[in-house]
Amino acid sequence: MKAKGLARYRAKRDFSRTPEPSGQRKVSVATRLRFVIQRHAARRLHYDLRLELGGVFKSWAVTKGPSLDPKVKRLAVEVEDHPLDYGDFEGTIPKGEYGGGTVQLWDRGYWEPDGSRSAEAMLGKGDLTFRLYGAHLKGGWVLARMRSDRYHSKRVNWLLIKRRDEFAQEDEADAALGDDRSVASGRSMAQIAAGTGRRARPFMLKRAAIPRPARIDKSPRSRSRRAPHG
């Protein structure tokens, strides 16, 4: 089931050209469900929310970033499941590759479904209530699947909404987004793009399982051997 869930992820990427993980490495065992949020400067800056469930990361691209104001609902586009070792990925996807741009580990921690139903059941119904225990995001949240799609998208669109609790900030929707430092390495987006600064501290992988950044062969010969995915 896990391998089937990652088929779309792998089909979209050429791992001879992108430093993204292929999902082959084993992750450390955890007694709680983990989450990560990656700031992703692709064609447009957005924030990728990833919730561990069923051996993969269920993933959404939050177009304007999470809002701490319960009145402000943010579009969250459902994307393909990602492997759990993606939760330690911080670096730059080469230009021209799928999702090309700089990726920063902006937040991470643990999450849990909120309520009597399972996370799988709530996702199936299109209404996931959950709690986050991260560095930037805490407290109750909702992912609500949109019934009518005013964005005319071929993808499944959701809304990410902050629940009213002690961690909500009325009229300060973007209060958490001003911090430009990685929660894993302390690097800014500019440092990550330049390849400078320290490596990210592991969260999903055991220390011994984290390889040093691989050198991607960008020569014409390499490109002719394996065509990139769209």
- Could you report the per-residue pLDDT of 38-76, keeping only the tens digit for each? 999 999 999 999 999 999 999 999 999 999 999 999 999
Indicate if the pLDDT at residue 211 is higher than 60: no
The label of the residue with tokens 């990560």 reads 36
Token pair listed for 78: 């459902």
Q: Please report the DSSP string for 85-129 in residue order.
A: GGGG--EEEPTTSTT-EEEEEEEEEEEEE-SSS-HHHHHHHTEEE
H/E segment holding residue 223: helix 220-225
Question: Closest Cα partner for 30 from 90, 128, 106, 108?
Answer: 108
Work out the average pLDDT over 114-135.
96
The label of the residue with tokens 């080469």 reads 94
- Could you report the per-residue pLDDT of 85-96, keeping only the tens digit for each? 999 999 999 999
Where residue 151 falls among pLDDT bands split at 50, 70, 90? low
Work out the average pLDDT over 86-109.
97
Q: Cβ-count burial of 173 within 10 angstroms (0-12 exposed, 13-18 middle, 19+ buried)? A: buried
Can you give the pLDDT at residue 59?
Answer: 98
Work out the average pLDDT over 137-163.
87
